Structure 1
Amino acid sequence: MITPRDTAASRRTRANGDGTVYQRKDRRWEAAGYVLAPGNTRKRIRVYGNSRTEALAKLTEKIAASNRGVPVVTAQGSLAAYLAYWLESVAVHHLRETTHTRYTACVDRYLIPGLGRKKLTKLTAKDVRTWLNQLRTTCQCCTRGIDARRDQPCCCAIGQCCSKLLSPLTLTYVHSVLKSALEHAVREEEIPRNVARNVRTGTPRPRRFEPLTADEARQFLTTVRGHRLHALFELALHTGLRKGELLGLHWEDLDLGSGTASIRRSLQRTRTGGLTVLPTKTRASERRIALPTECVHSLRGHQERQEGERNTAGVAWRESGLVFTTPTGGPLDPANMTRRFAAFLSRAGLRRIRFHDLRHSTATLLLEQGIDLVVIKELLGHAHIGVTAGVYAHVRLRLQRQAIDTLGSVLNLSSDGPDNPPATAAVR
């Protein structure tokens, strides 16, 4: 009698180093071979499939990665080793460079010191919950030794803890990075389940922002009028473009004749390349928007000014094709733009806000003018309308109050009296 294990396929000869493939008693197929592991060592791994082809394909993929010098982390390794592998070989190909930099800082700063010594297979939901609770209640100056490196210690180094705790938003972000890493370990069949998903950190309150009112926006534009970057600030307030999108705008992206702009890229400072032009934040962020007449006039004047700066700089001019540049044609640093924006706010006598709050100011003013939420979503480049509706829920509540007050005045046929008080309670 010929069993499945005696078939010609299972006895097929494989070259040395290609590993072995055979069928198990439970009818599944198992493939085993040696691959490169962390620490420049070699380990024998086993993969499984419902068919010989599936098991062989999994093993071939891991051996090919090993031949390229990429260590294959097995489940026997520590969480620190797997996180290093995930950042260097997986996340780097799927994340923007700025996001990958934040993930790396999060792993080095919180995940490895807290959970790095745990074995990947032995990590439990209780371990994750205990670590998150400790992270939530521990002063970061004390934990990371920040105060000891300060020129003027103000916390642990002088025996007086400042209780600098992580914000709920940061805690949620750290937790999400761990979930992403473990989710990939599940997909690679290194672990059976993602234990970090069984731990809840709670929904943090959204970050509060204080957009400019219409009067404050006019006051700000009056202050920056005459400056060489007046067109940038005017464009930011009229269209709600992100700072990186403004700084990454090229002249070829503008059609001043038809009054439109194509948002295709963003200027960011990265750890490896410095100031780099990257794709937009999301696919929805790549969009075409209409330009107000005021912005078209300002951009034409800015183009003439830039031409004069090019003639003045001569051979020192750096041709980049960017709309907003330094006086010598180089790209503008986002950090310098932030400092310049703060100086203009101070000069205008306005309160301190972030540059990103100009974007919030645009959306808030448009909502207050009765512009449809779908139009604002397309202008801002949000991926989903739920993002727009969630961020500006406070504005929608205020508009609801105005609407029901208007309806109340229509339905209230008699004059206001003690029995018919107007609906004027503020919604916060």
Structure 2
Amino acid sequence: MTTPGDTPASRRVRANGDGTVYQRKDSRWEAAGYVLAPGNTRKRIRVYGTTRKEALAKLTEKIAASNRGLPIPSAQGSLAAYLTYWLENVAVHHLRENTHTRYTACVNRYLVPGLGKKKLTKLTAKDIRTWLNQLRTTCQCCTRRIDARRDQPRCCAIGQCCSKLLSPLTLTYIHSVLKSALEHAVREEEIPRNVARNVRTGTPRPRRFEPLTTDEARQLLTAAYGHRLHALFELALHSGLRKGELLGLRWDDLDLNAGTAAIRRTLQRTSTGGLITLPTKTRASERRIALPTRCVHSLKHHHEQQQRDRHTAGTEWQHNGHVFTTPQGRPIDPTNLTRTFTALLHKAGLRRIRFHDLRHSTATLLLEQGVELVVIKELLGHAHIGVTATVYAHVRLRLQRDAIDTLSNALGSLENDKTTHSGGDEPPPCPALVR
């Protein structure tokens, strides 16, 4: 009589739903069972091992994940194929055109060459971390053959590596694009988890900028006086508006009698649509701000000048309602505004800065005047006050130092007063009686 212990391992009866385990002709062990698949269906899978225990452990792990509601991955293609699908069918509907262009460049330039051949379901956190570490120490001029495409090679193509490494900010951006793509793969139940979230790239230091001082700001406004865009530069310094917000401003958005402006849109140049008007960067960026009196006067004078330009242009005038336009009434290209701003800096004898640094200058000058951080956050249109506090942390530290120095001077003067009043031979003051 045969006992259960004498039954061969490959023929042992397993409970319903536990799957089957048997030995193949090639001596490997195979385990098969039904697990949850995308679309709330069930699918039979097969796993293999060198021993019965190994194959059974793999099957048990997949069945346990299925019982927790995690469907088995269905994506069988490469990461490059999925990234192409994600860009063309998902990201294009949720991102602005310029952002989508940057994402596409990031995918084609870094992700596909580095990780594109990996299977989507086989990608691990170790793969991503190893690739990022390699990317961090690899000269991009050599890797992408930038110097070879120059008319006169000057570094890598002639054997003199320039060590053009990616900045920590660029590495973080590449990692975030990969995370976004894999996050959507998880939502579509293509993979069980986002392995890119398990990789830490570190927080890059914020970009250093040198805002204008009070004297430099006055110097810039003096140089801009009489310029046809004087009102724009004055408004930029007093309100901290972004370049696109300034160029997208319409006369309907202004209430010069009440001294307010409604920020509702931004002007950008895209590769397909040219100059187009888009909603503000974030929901918090759509706001109403107060205008200082001098800006109201400048805008009224600018409106009169625009009417004279309209009369001069005649039939060539293109009315679109924008506050700041070309002499023919067309919207101003952001690149052309940058060129005008650079020429103005040169005229004023100031160091070269970005136009966006005018926004930083506004916040810095307001902080130095003691304006509350929450007021600056509302004026700049930041989504969270933490953004304002992080970007302008160096200003807050300087204000703290000023406060500490003020306290130190006060305490020092108090000691000097005690020394002056005590004299040399006078007895110490009697302690007050405590009742």
TM-score, normalization: structure 1?
A: 0.80
- How many residue pairs get aligned? The number is 360
Q: Is the 8 A contact 2:35 2:42 kept in 1?
A: no
Q: Does 1:329 align with 2:329?
A: yes
Change (3 A) 1:118 1:291: same
Give the deviation of 1:245 after TM superposition: 0.5
Question: Which ranges of structure 2 fall in alignment gaps of 5 or more residues?
Answer: 1-33, 44-64, 419-435
Q: Where does 1:403-422 land on structure 2 (aligned, <5 Å)?
A: 403-412=403-412, 413-415=414-416
CA-to-aligned-CA distance 1:165-196 (integer Å, 9 cap, x gap): 11110111011100110011111111111111
Partner of 1:212: 212
How far did 1:116 drift? 0.9
Aligned 8 A contact 1:168 1:204 in 2: yes
Shift of residue 29, structure 1, vs aligned partner: 4.5
Structure 2 residue 347 is matched with structure 1 residue 347: yes
Assess if the C-alpha contact under 8 Å between 2:341 and 2:355 holds in 1. yes
**TM-score of the superposed pair, with normalisation by structure 2:** 0.79
CA distance in structure 2 between the aligned counterparts of 1:211 and 1:271, rounded to whole angstroms: 31
**1:95 maps to amino acid:** L
* RMSD between superposed Cα atoms in Å: 2.4
1:141 offset after TM fit, Å? 1.3
SS of 1:415 mapped into structure 2: helix
Give the Cα–Cα distance (whole angstroms) in 2 for the partners of residues 248 and 261 of structure 1: 12
Q: What is residue 182 of structure 1 aligned with on the other side?
A: 182
Aligned partner of residue 121 in structure 2, secondary structure: coil
SS in structure 1 of the partner of residue 267 of structure 2: strand
Specify the code of the residue in structure 2 equivalent to 1:388.
Answer: T
Matched residue of 2:152: which SS? coil
What fraction of aligned residue pairs are identical, expressed as a percent?
79
1:262-411 matches, cutoff 5 A:
262-411=262-411
Q: Is the 8 A contact 2:36 2:42 kept in 1?
A: no
| Cα gap change, 1:288 to 1:153, in 2 (>3 Å) | same
The 1:128/1:97 distance shift into structure 2, 3 A limit, reads same
Q: What is the distance in 1 between the residues matched to 2:391 and 2:175?
A: 22
Match of 2:150 in 1: 150
Please tell me whether Structure 1 or Structure 2 has the larger radius of gyration of its CA atoms.
2
User: What secondary structure is seen at the aligned counterpart in 2 of 1:90?
Assistant: helix
**Counterpart amino acid of 2:416?**
S
Q: Give the distance between the partners of 1:236 and 1:305, measured in 2 at CA.
A: 19
Shift of 1:31: 6.9
CA deviations on 1:120-176 (whole Å, 9 max, x unpaired) are 001111111111112111111111121121122122222211111111101110111
Q: 1:30 is matched by which residue type in structure 2?
A: T
Q: Which residue of 1 aligns with 2:3?
A: none
Distance in 2 (CA, whole Å) between partners of 1:306 and 1:315 is: 15
Q: Which runs of 5+ in 1 are unaligned?
A: 1-23, 33-47, 59-72, 418-428
Within 2, Cα distance between the matches of 1:320 and 1:144? 44
Cα offset for 1:289? Answer: 0.1
Q: What is the match of residue 88 of structure 1?
A: 88
> Whole-Å Cα distance in 2 between the matches of residues 361 and 345 of structure 1?
14
SS in 2 for 1:204: coil
- CA contact 1:243–1:355 (8 Å) conserved in 2: yes
* Residue of structure 2 equivalent to 1:236: 236
The runs of at least 4 consecutive aligned structure 1 residues that moved more than 4 Å come to 24-29
State the one-letter code of the partner of 2:91: A
Aligned to 2:8: none
- Once the two structures are TM-superposed, the CA of residue 97 in structure 1 deviates from its matched residue by 1.8
